């Protein structure tokens, strides 16, 4: 099949769509990607990618078409809106000018869902089948993030989402908890499919990890590690409060690997509370380096804010942590918490309950090593049963072929 992936975010940005594109290519399909100039999460276009220059690229043999866009800046307000709109505008212009036929257009629908419009345009012009893989629910996710609260605007967004769903042949959801919301916007059961995340191969194949690579920046002690975005959704306010409680046990170290728009705020809080020997910001590293960080962790940290929308989401980190065989300290509600409980692979408390998070971390610290190892192994076995990459991608290809 000829597949055009439409995704505002793609390599060198770290998103699961990178892994999927490579796997589809390996299975003999012709894969192209329509994306923007990389600028996530820092909010500025990466070095070497000008506004109009670098219009095409190549990743692992995949043809990449890069359209101009306005960088997201600090991820709020007018700049973020212009970022969303500019990608859609220039992508639609590309579709009109490129005029190449594909069998399937596949939209990787993290926010914004508006990036589905170029795929829908291609469907109308060239008769391709439009498939959209929902990672976020709109307008619920923008409302929960506090970016838009106007009832009038939310009503307009709801109509827009209904229009996108109506003109898509298949709607895939990464969490079964999304289904009631999607069906409530006019989607039929025939259109719907459940397609969860899997972990990249580098997390499930741990035989060649270079453990010493980042050992020099690791503090000694019991390591609780967050890997990923430092943003509003991750509830760093509660993380810092939990770390402040566990400082009574100096051996407990909270390690943050990643970047995001709340990083400066976290840095200031560390100084204000005197947590320099408890909470460590190591910075942002390539995805390929993550196993060499994970291997040092005693417990992996997974947190989400207390919002209904987040309780319906399975954070992709769950699969990565499980595949790697690490126990999880979770502070979240809903389906993500249910997965961890079902797998018996960690310690769970409700979203925003930082006291219980701190107690769970201190409990994990006092556990025998073999208890933590068993929880990690439980997660790995659950991952192999429910989130196998081969099974999921085979299912995805079958959906395309329908």
153 or 98: which leads in pLDDT: 98
* C-beta pairs of 335-344 under 8 Å, 24+ apart in sequence: 335/175, 335/176, 335/177, 335/311, 336/302, 336/304, 336/310, 336/311, 339/314, 339/382, 340/302, 340/379, 342/382, 343/378, 343/379, 343/381, 343/382, 343/383, 344/375, 344/378
Structure tokens at 74: 């600090």
Rg (C-alpha) for the chain, rounded Å, is 21
Q: How confident is the model at residue 140 (pLDDT cuts 50, 70, 90)?
A: confident
Residues 6+ apart with CB under 8 A from 81: none
Q: How confident is the model at residue 272 (pLDDT cuts 50, 70, 90)?
A: very high
Task: Look at residue 79 in the predicted model and tell me its pLDDT.
Answer: 87
Weakest-pLDDT range from 21-35, 104-118, 206-220: 206-220
Q: What is the average per-residue pLDDT within 208-217?
A: 78
Fold of 2-198+388-401: Rossmann fold (3.40.50)
Q: Pick from 93, 110, 91, 107: which is nearest to 14 by CA?
A: 110
| Cβ-based burial of 362 (10 A; exposed 0-12, middle 13-18, buried ≥19) | middle
Burial 138-164 (b: 16+ CB within 10 A, else e): bbbbbbbbebeeeeeebeebeebbeeb
Domain 204-386 superfamily per CATH? Glycogen Phosphorylase B; (3.40.50.2000)
Q: Pick from 91, 114, 92: which is nearest to 164 by CA?
A: 114
Structure tokens at 354: 């930082």
Task: Look at residue 313 in the predicted model and tell me its pLDDT.
Answer: 86
Domain ranges of the chain: 2-198+388-401, 204-386
Same topology for domains 2-198+388-401 and 204-386, yes or no? Answer: yes
Task: Look at residue 145 in the predicted model and tell me its pLDDT.
Answer: 60
301 phi and psi angles, rounded to 5 deg: -105, 135
pLDDT tens sequence across 279-326: 999 999 988 899 999 999 999 999 999 988 889 888 889 999 999 999
Query: Cα dist. 336→4, 41, 143, 393 in Å?
Result: 30, 23, 20, 21
Residue 216 DSSP one-character state: G
Task: Look at residue 43 in the predicted model and tell me its pLDDT.
Answer: 86
Task: Look at residue 153 in the predicted model and tell me its pLDDT.
Answer: 81
329 or 43: which leads in pLDDT: 329
> CA angle, 250 as apex, 245 and 253 as ends, to 5°?
80
Can you list the positions of beta strands (E) in 150-221?
170-173, 192-194
Q: What is the average per-residue pLDDT within 248-256?
A: 97
Mean pLDDT of the chain: 91
Q: What is the average per-residue pLDDT within 62-89?
A: 90
Residues 6+ apart with CB under 8 A from 390: none
Residue 316, number of CB atoms within 10 A of its CB: 19
């Amino acid at each position: 099949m000829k597949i055009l992936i439409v995704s505002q975010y793609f390599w060198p940005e770290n998103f699961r769509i990178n892994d999927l594109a490579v796997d589809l290519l390996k299975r003999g399909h012709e894969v192209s990607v329509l994306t923007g100039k990389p600028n996530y999460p820092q909010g500025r276009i990466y070095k070497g990618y000008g506004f109009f220059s670098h219009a095409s690229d190549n990743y692992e043999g995949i043809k990449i078409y890069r359209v101009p866009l306005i960088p997201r800046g600090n991820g709020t307000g007018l700049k973020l809106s212009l970022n969303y709109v500019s990608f859609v505008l220039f992508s639609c212009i590309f579709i009109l000018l490129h005029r190449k036929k594909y069998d399937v257009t596949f939209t990787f629908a993290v926010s914004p869902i508006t990036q589905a419009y170029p795929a829908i345009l291609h469907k109308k012009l060239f008769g391709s089948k439009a498939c959209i893989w929902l990672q976020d629910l709109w307008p619920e996710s923008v409302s929960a993030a506090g970016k838009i609260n106007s009832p009038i605007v939310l009503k307009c967004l709801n109509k827009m989402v209904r229009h996108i769903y109506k003109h898509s042949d298949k709607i895939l959801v990464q969490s079964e908890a999304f289904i009631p919301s999607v069906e409530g916007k006019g989607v039929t059961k025939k259109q719907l499919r459940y397609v969860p995340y899997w972990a990249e191969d580098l997390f499930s194949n741990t035989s060649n990890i270079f453990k010493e690579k980042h050992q020099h920046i690791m503090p000694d002690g019991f390591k609780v590690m967050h890997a990923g975005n430092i943003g509003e959704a991750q509830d760093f306010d509660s993380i810092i409060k939990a770390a402040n409680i566990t400082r009574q046990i100096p051996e407990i170290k909270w390690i943050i690997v990643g970047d995001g728009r709340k990083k400066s705020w976290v840095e200031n809080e560390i100084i204000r509370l005197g947590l320099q020997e408890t909470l460590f910001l190591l910075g942002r590293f390539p995805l390929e380096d993550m196993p060499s960080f994970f291997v040092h962790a005693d417990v992996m940290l997974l947190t989400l804010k207390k919002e209904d929308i987040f309780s319906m989401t399975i954070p992709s980190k769950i699969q990565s942590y499980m595949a790697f065989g690490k126990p999880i300290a979770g502070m979240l509600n809903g389906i993500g918490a249910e997965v961890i409980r079902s797998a018996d692979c960690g310690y769970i408390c409700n979203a925003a309950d930082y006291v219980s998070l701190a107690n769970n971390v201190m409990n994990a610290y006092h556990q025998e090593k073999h208890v933590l190892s068993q929880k990690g192994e439980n997660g790995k076995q659950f991952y192999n049963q429910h989130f196998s990459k081969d099974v999921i991608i085979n299912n995805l290809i079958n959906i395309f072929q329908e």
